[in-house]
Structure 1
């Protein structure tokens, strides 16, 4: 008996799946389900290929109640730009939770990962940032800098945004683009300390291996979402930040201990343990407290989870089917 499989390209996904409130709500619900303890989510399979200056990550999660579960392969081959190729690509495969048969193959080159990552940042802001955010600060100038700002503005409509990058020209170009996209005042900020001082919500989106945000810059009411650290050698936040924060929230504690900002704080000894660390799903469900006052300093450490991939892939297949997009093959 033939089985239908949807093959969907990046271009088709970009026309069908957008960074909107539906996607943000979908990712939020996935984190809430993760908090129930019924989700099966193995540790990230990470393989370094030093001879090729590359790494490959594989993530997955089974979520009871969803029709499918995703297997995502994310290769990063960092010599590719010299060959005229992008350094990041990859795909997602969605399999039936009932039969294990392949329902869809998303040849997305990382697009769905970009969207679900930005959506997680919005979920963090929705539950941990102050209600009265006037200024959003972005550290970084890449794809996630752009998407995180778009997503954050959907849940914390701010009057303005500030962007800092090591390359001031890139920061200026991104600021001009975002001013047009969002219709608010967006400017490049030459000093990260000034950006933090003026912002109530700061999102770090860099591949930094040395901190780009100092504990000396903290101020009452600040929320920080750190999403750039997703490997054992990355570190965006001064580890002291986690030691003095009023609330530390992780997407997955066991994962952040190995590859997130939590890892750096624990390794330096500035954070004695994870006793006061909470997971985002528990904050969403109300099982754990997040921000408790407008003066709290809160930090969310996002490393990217398989449950997000399963959530976005399941949502994407529904949208693709309704739009009659992609190519159907029989297997």
Structure 2
């Protein structure tokens, strides 16, 4: 019996899925589901290929109530730019949660990952940032620097953005893009400590192996979302800052212990806080989030398979409504 599989290209997916509140809300729903204990989400499969300066990550999750589940494959081959190819690509395969049959191949080259990662930052800001944010800082100058600020602005409409990066020219370009996208003041700065001091919301988006945010920079009324540390060896937030914060939250504790900021704090021997709450538990009301605008909060995002299933099923629903994509018979 023939079975139809939908093929969606990156260009088609960019037309179907935007970084907007509906995308944030479907990712928020995935976090809430994680807190229920009914989600099946195995550890990340990660394979390094040192001979090619490459790595491959595989993430997946089954979420009760979602029509499908996704398996995402994300290769990163970091010498590719030398031969005119992008360093990152990848795809998601969407399976029926009822029959296990392949329903769609989402050839997104990482676009859906970019959207769901930024949407997770918005979920963190919605539940953990102070109620009023006037100035936000982003540390980093790449795609996620832009998208994380764009996503946070959906839920905390600040009027000013400060951008810091190791390369001032890239920081200026990022600030110019954010000014154009959000129609607010965005400027590159040379001192990250001063930027943090002026901000109520800070997002770190770097592949740093040494901290880019120091514990002594923390101040009342600050929220930090750290999303760059997703591999052992990466570290954006000084370990002492996790201890000094009023509330430290993980997207998934088991992942943050291996890949996130918690790993670094545990390795340094400074983490004594027991098991931190997860973002989904706060979204679902099972744990207490920020209780006053004066608190200091930190959220550690390593990226979860639940987010991938959420954004893939969201994309497929949009494709069905519009008739986008092509089909093959298997």
Coarse TM-score class (shorter-chain normalised): over 0.9
Distance 1:274 1:290 in 2: 16
1:294 to partner: Cα distance: 1.2
Report what 1:109 is aligned to. Answer: 109
Distance 1:169 1:217 in 2: 25
1:273 to partner: Cα distance: 4.6
Any unmatched runs of 5+ in structure 1? Answer: none
Distance 2:225 2:281 in 1: 17
Distance 1:33 1:173 in 2: 38
Report 1:29-68 matches (<5 A): 29-68=29-68
Report what 1:257 is aligned to. Answer: 257
Any unmatched runs of 5+ in structure 2? Answer: none
Distance 1:68 1:139 in 2: 35
Distance 2:11 2:247 in 1: 40
Is 1:158 the counterpart of 2:158 in the alignment? yes
Is 1:183 the counterpart of 2:183 in the alignment? yes
TM-score, scaled to structure 2: 0.99
Is 1:148 the counterpart of 2:118 in the alignment? no
State the Cα RMSD in Å. 0.7
Distance 1:6 1:265 in 2: 44
Report what 1:283 is aligned to. Answer: 282
Matched-pair contact (CA < 8 Å) for 2:243–2:273: no
1:274 to partner: Cα distance: 2.8
SS of the equivalent of 1:278 reads coil
SS of the equivalent of 1:311 reads helix
Distance 1:285 1:98 in 2: 26
Matched-pair contact (CA < 8 Å) for 2:19–2:151: yes
Matched-pair contact (CA < 8 Å) for 2:32–2:280: yes
Q: Deviations over 1:252-286 (max 9, x none)?
A: 000000000010011101112533x1000100111
Distance 1:283 1:240 in 2: 23
Report what 2:308 is aligned to. Answer: 309
Distance 1:24 1:140 in 2: 22
Matched-pair contact (CA < 8 Å) for 1:266–1:273: no
SS of the equivalent of 2:277 reads strand
The runs of at least 4 aligned residues of structure 1 exceeding 6 Å deviation read none
